[in-house]
Structure 1
């Protein structure tokens, strides 16, 4: 026999259509977005993983100061048990918009036929000397397409195709950079003749290698790379060494996509839990309202299980339908939207959409289980009461408590306090929802001011407008110094001297931060001249200063000791921290130039860089390894704004919608729960304005208090999780919460509440007087 209780569900849906449609749409869109995100993430991650084999990605690369001889390469291959191929490149200044100003850098490679094969995404590969295929991400950010022209090192080239290079899925120009830069840095492929036309001034002798037997995991890859480095340093002057497992240009994309997946799943489940609590609270209110009916049904033979299934059926049905429809949207429109977000940040190859069973389970089965579980727990307890208690409307499971004695306030205020106490479970759920929404809102709203503040601090504290890092020529060995070849070498070596008056010498080295049981990220070590015109602080002779970002990230204090390791060697150094220096651009150690030379065994007159206020024009270009300018220091804020700007806005909108949804559902519940009392006070002669003041003012108090308290708690939460969020970045962005964000958040919250309150005004106005007369017990 069919259960007649099922006939009540359509009537319940119709009578409370507003609540169910709002929850349904919110859940559908949320599940649809998360489902689309997981499908796109999994499909692109699969394409990324398969690309290691499909495009024959290197196991690492190294750079030498000069081209290696064939005999040396054979010895390295034999002793290191690797296979090596040339992967030379040139970094050339680029004018992407043909406005006559060079605003970026293009890293030019020759055609690849061995390792790191190219994925052609549109157009064709270059065939002539004046043609180039450029990275698709760089092209998008600079509004370039196939057939357009750009100038590289003054030469006008035609873009023949848009490509993705597997060793540059993330456009890091330097592996030690905190953030990639797809706006002012790109990679391109040219013919051999086209690349050679740029000469050897900026030519870097990079070689890619693959092991004879591929490592099983990163631990084995680390051990193998250390063994290979020991072989490599015997045959050449190594200026760069990057194993694939630590190459951010290769690994950052995969690690980021994996982390995004976990974050989206957690976000979805938190939202489902909040909605489940809302359903449970509203269902318990329905049970209270229908207590007499439930008592009659129980006395007539209906079991608790039948009634429980009836009352949890609507939340579960709404969740199931929302999950299924959300998955349909996820595999269609949302999938492309989410894939576009990834393509907006990373240089990924073309992907194919794949059926993702895990995504279906995570966005359909798990939400239904969460909804079912929470409602079973919270509703079943109330249905354990005896039929007699339901008939008497005595729904308290414990002994009746005395009413809370209220302060001697005016009548209206005491009435409002009583409303709050009677609906404390609803208000508690409202507070939790507001808190979660404000955490999201604060995260979304803080990032733009944080990036702007970071950029301002960098520009305010930058050491010099120009930093030139030099390729210091090797001097002849002591026994060759006075030979004809030795003297000829010294005579032909370009001079490191400059006539630029604002130039100041410095020393620079890149080292690895040594952490307990592991090797950390790159730390820049500066040796600063005495009475420096650029670093205006007295440097200690028996220790070092470290940048504030270094101190914050690793929780280092004055008096601590930091341990650094050679980037391409095994020597370690310990430094006593004597103070913190404001320098947000990188993780940095500052020491006197004399201490630097003594520590690293350099000559008394050694230096490898210049600080300068003006551009240095009289140095041989072959001597300049890197020029660090304002653009280089601000790439983090620039790239994050490009990559994540739309996402931050999406988070803000989502948080405000969640905020408004919870207020709407719970204020609606409170009014429905008190419909009988509202009807009674209407009979007693109170006007709608006064009734609104009674019921909505109490909710206003709770909303204002919840917003203010959640602003404080959300700030603590952001401070608590910020270190974890930044741990995956190389470098550090100092947390900055702009004070103006808080009044903006409060105004947005109250604006959403006012809109909801206007809807509830109408609801109170529509409650008729006969409700109280019909429900006289």
Structure 2
């Protein structure tokens, strides 16, 4: 073993703190990032495989009412140019679920499908699929969050079901009640499936089905542009066939399908950025420590050079320990990440997303990024630092001039009026200015992580409060079509009769109508035969009249048979069916200006305080490949009692505060919005600050309902919603949704619940980095001043006094860094939030309360106090012999 090699164990023991700090910093950072990235990579592979394994739909279309076979055939024919498409009936009911025992009264919704076997096939984690009409299988995440297990009994729309299985649905990987929601809701919303008979029973119990049709193109690799064009053609075909299309969602736009993958990809980028930042910060540390090592070993290096050692040998010698430590830290960190951190990271996603059973997919790319790159960066940076210093002569090393400093700072004249202690502390600061600058950068980065962890809950709480207060009424109802609350008792009976008749198979109504027409024709023929027999009596004319009368009787019997079939479907007798037909026939259904009347009277007071509005969703291109923002355009009354202080009318367009904050539109700017269903484009002008309304979470656009209907070419009396402080009993056939403050609070609570899982990790990582950065960089200051500390001991200063001089200087620098970095950190957090959330619907305003800033400074300083105690021990270990060593 060479003499230089023999020094390595001794150097490692003497600098065990420095190398242990480097090892822990690299190992810890790599373990967390490699564990997360491997979990994210595996989940991404799993999601990609689901499309074929579980036959995920290419899109879905929702109609106001059940489409006829002819309408569906028209939609399928419209896609012949791209190879064809198949539509699948995929109705669901948003059922209110309650536990049969121990229910807490919270409103929970379970979107219930009939068991699917051809498209969007469920993956069962536990139990079995439903076999009887009183069995239900529910989503895994919803079941976990609501303490439901196989065998429990629940009520759906008041009907009791037994949970037979726990499963996940591929089109509901992320649980979004509405596709435009900002985040998932796994607490009060879930999905389920029952048998066909169970679905029918749920409908009989009062559940209102949504008439959704999922579709899959024959060419599963159809280019996106061609697929979108084909979907537009399908919607046009449905509309031309008199179907009312409420919604069209391509699979790429379906948050239930794509949100989880997007979140994994986004978080992967964030963790890669975190790893890059850690590498950059470690580079600062390595540079500082390399300089400190060269300066500390300057006399030894000079002696070695003078003794005939080549510079290459000395560089390899001083590179050996950092390289060994770096490689071991990278390999062990990666191994720990794969073995111990993949599962916790998986849990972060499986606690929020409904995915099939997890399995690990190995990635060499992650190994290179997490193990090879950091180790190579450490070796390269250390090598560059050593080569930069090795250009000095042996004499310069022996004179401790290897740092290349002229000594100006060391010999700077300080005012004599300053006391000895103040001047000493200032000289300590000036001599270690580079170390303290790096310490500032490290503290700023660690504070950024820490403040992010501390501020995320207040930010989400603030956002949840804004969501809750953004609702202008206790109930915001949306309708599938206009529905009038006001009406006479006779009108309600007529519309109730029509609704009841429309609830049965249209073929039965058509058959009854055809039979009635045939009876009228037969009666006319019989009357003509009777007139002929009267005018020209003969045996032939009398026989013809008798035959005509017999035919009338046959047609009457046929009509009665058709009416009996209709009555059976309606669950009533023939006379009641005839009465329903008679009442419904009094409605002028050909008059477009006549709107259906709600069959239930909600009461004069409730009707009087309710207010009509109209709403439609348009898309705004965020630019730079960040997708489209879904914006709700509202048409409201010019003198609305609910949207207070909102001045609309005469073409005035008002923009929500969230839109302006997120996109920064300037006064006079024209904003182009697109309609993904009709292919239309609309240009709306932002006139200035007077045309802004609402909080920074408000992502809507407002105008008068008259301007709304003119813009979208609707009938003058069109509307599709009510705002009301009183509960309204609306017909299920026209009811689309009811948004309440409780619903908005649930969305906010879900967001808080998701982020709280990461807060502990973020705070722990920040404290860990705080501890190591402060220890490594402040240790460099102590080591750099070892000879001066030894001199002071020779001069009779006690350890406590020396610690007071040195530690106090470091303490002031740390305290100043913690405080001065706050504005930079808050600005950085704002920028990070904007860039992270730009591609998501909605706008979250970063909210950093004073207490979180104080906590950030307090935690950082408390962490430093632990380091200061360690340095106090280091000062005590500085030997008096250090002062007696010859410097030159």
1:555 aligns with 2:659: no
Distance 1:451 1:555 in 2: 22
Q: Which moved more, 1:511-520 or 1:324-333?
A: 511-520
Q: Is the 8 A contact 1:166 1:250 kept in 2?
A: yes
Cα 1:566–1:582 change in 2 (3 A) is same
Aligned to 1:229: 235
Aligned to 1:404: 412
Q: CA deviation at 1:459?
A: 3.1
SS at match of 1:564: strand
Q: Which moved more, 1:572-581 or 1:291-300?
A: 572-581
Distance 2:697 2:728 in 1: 22
Aligned to 1:255: 262
Cα 1:248–1:538 change in 2 (3 A) is closer
User: Pick from 439, 442, 455: which aligns with 1:430?
Assistant: 439
Distance 1:720 1:404 in 2: 40
Deviation sequence 1:86-127 (CA, Å, 0-9, x none): 111111112257426252110001111111111111111111
Distance 2:203 2:659 in 1: 39
Q: How does 1:504-515 map to 2 (within 5 A)?
A: 504-513=611-620
Distance 2:194 2:279 in 1: 52
Q: Which runs of 5+ in 2 are unaligned?
A: 484-494, 499-581
Q: Is the 8 A contact 1:61 1:209 kept in 2?
A: yes
Distance 1:292 1:244 in 2: 69
Aligned to 2:675: 566
Q: CA deviation at 1:456?
A: 2.2
Q: CA deviation at 1:272?
A: 2.6
SS at match of 1:233: helix
Aligned to 1:702: 813
SS at match of 1:282: helix
Distance 2:216 2:657 in 1: 39
Aligned to 1:479: none
User: Pick from 400, 414, 426: which aligns with 1:417?
Assistant: 426
1:487 aligns with 2:594: no
SS at match of 1:728: coil
Q: Is the 8 A contact 1:462 1:585 kept in 2?
A: no
Cα 1:588–1:315 change in 2 (3 A) is same
Cα 1:206–1:608 change in 2 (3 A) is same
Deviation sequence 1:485-511 (CA, Å, 0-9, x none): 573758986459743143222222222
User: Pick from 689, 713, 718: which aligns with 2:824?
Assistant: 713
Q: CA deviation at 1:257?
A: 0.9
SS at match of 2:620: strand
Aligned to 1:171: 175
Cα 1:492–1:24 change in 2 (3 A) is closer
Q: Is the 8 A contact 2:42 2:360 kept in 1?
A: yes
Q: Is the 8 A contact 2:622 2:629 kept in 1?
A: no
Q: CA deviation at 1:523?
A: 1.2
Aligned to 1:31: 30
Q: Which moved more, 1:655-664 or 1:46-55?
A: 655-664
Distance 1:102 1:397 in 2: 71
Cα 1:223–1:269 change in 2 (3 A) is same
Deviation sequence 1:207-256 (CA, Å, 0-9, x none): 11111223455444434433443334323211110011111111111111
SS at match of 1:159: strand
Q: CA deviation at 1:748?
A: 1.0
User: Pick from 82, 87, 90: which aligns with 1:87?
Assistant: 90
Aligned to 1:59: 58
User: Pick from 128, 132, 136: which aligns with 2:132?
Assistant: 128
Q: CA deviation at 1:82?
A: 1.0
Q: Which moved more, 1:32-41 or 1:244-253?
A: 32-41
Aligned to 2:12: 13
Distance 2:70 2:734 in 1: 27
Distance 2:158 2:830 in 1: 48
Q: CA deviation at 1:406?
A: 2.6
Distance 2:182 2:334 in 1: 36
Give TM-score, length-normalised by structure 1: 0.94
User: Pick from 857, 861, 873: which aligns with 1:750?
Assistant: 861
User: Pick from 190, 197, 202: which aligns with 2:194?
Assistant: 190
Distance 1:296 1:556 in 2: 67
Q: Is the 8 A contact 2:638 2:648 kept in 1?
A: no
Aligned to 1:666: 777
Cα 1:232–1:550 change in 2 (3 A) is same
Q: CA deviation at 1:78?
A: 2.3
Deviation sequence 1:174-223 (CA, Å, 0-9, x none): 11111121111100011111111111741011111111223455444434
Distance 2:595 2:41 in 1: 59
Q: Is the 8 A contact 1:59 1:209 kept in 2?
A: yes
SS at match of 1:621: coil
Distance 2:439 2:877 in 1: 24
Q: Which moved more, 1:17-26 or 1:514-523?
A: 514-523
Q: CA deviation at 1:673?
A: 1.7
User: Pick from 459, 470, 493: which aligns with 2:468?
Assistant: 459
Q: Which moved more, 1:514-523 or 1:497-506?
A: 514-523
1:580 aligns with 2:680: no
Deviation sequence 1:356-402 (CA, Å, 0-9, x none): 21121111111111111211222221111111211232224365647
Q: How does 1:70-149 map to 2 (within 5 A)?
A: 70-80=69-79, 81-96=84-99, 98-99=102-103, 101-149=105-153
1:679 aligns with 2:790: yes
Q: Is the 8 A contact 2:33 2:271 kept in 1?
A: yes
SS at match of 2:587: helix
Aligned to 2:709: 597
Aligned to 1:386: 393
Q: Which moved more, 1:177-186 or 1:268-277?
A: 268-277
User: Pick from 516, 535, 539: which aligns with 2:647?
Assistant: 539
Give TM-score, length-normalised by structure 2: 0.83
Q: Is the 8 A contact 2:246 2:480 kept in 1?
A: no
Distance 1:94 1:405 in 2: 79
1:316 aligns with 2:340: no
Deviation sequence 1:2-32 (CA, Å, 0-9, x none): 5432222211112222332233233222212
Segments of 4+ in structure 1 off by > 6 A?
Answer: 516-519
Distance 1:219 1:608 in 2: 31
Q: CA deviation at 1:652?
A: 1.3
Q: Is the 8 A contact 1:91 1:107 kept in 2?
A: yes
Q: CA deviation at 1:321?
A: 1.0
Q: CA deviation at 1:626?
A: 0.5
| Structure (1 or 2) with the larger CA radius of gyration | 2
Distance 2:628 2:286 in 1: 48
Over the residues paired in the alignment, what is the CA RMSD in angstroms?
A: 2.5
Distance 1:213 1:91 in 2: 32
SS at match of 1:530: coil
Q: Is the 8 A contact 1:462 1:583 kept in 2?
A: no
Cα 1:204–1:279 change in 2 (3 A) is same
Q: Which runs of 5+ in 1 are unaligned?
A: 477-481
SS at match of 2:240: coil
Cα 1:679–1:454 change in 2 (3 A) is same
Q: Which moved more, 1:549-558 or 1:724-733?
A: 549-558
Q: Is the 8 A contact 1:466 1:613 kept in 2?
A: yes
Distance 1:283 1:538 in 2: 64
Distance 2:17 2:426 in 1: 28
Q: CA deviation at 1:271?
A: 1.2
User: Pick from 835, 851, 875: which aligns with 1:724?
Assistant: 835
Deviation sequence 1:679-730 (CA, Å, 0-9, x none): 1111112222321221111111211121112111111111222211111211
Cα 1:524–1:769 change in 2 (3 A) is same
Q: CA deviation at 1:775?
A: 4.6
Cα 1:473–1:662 change in 2 (3 A) is closer
Distance 2:595 2:813 in 1: 82
Distance 1:707 1:219 in 2: 52
Distance 1:434 1:242 in 2: 47
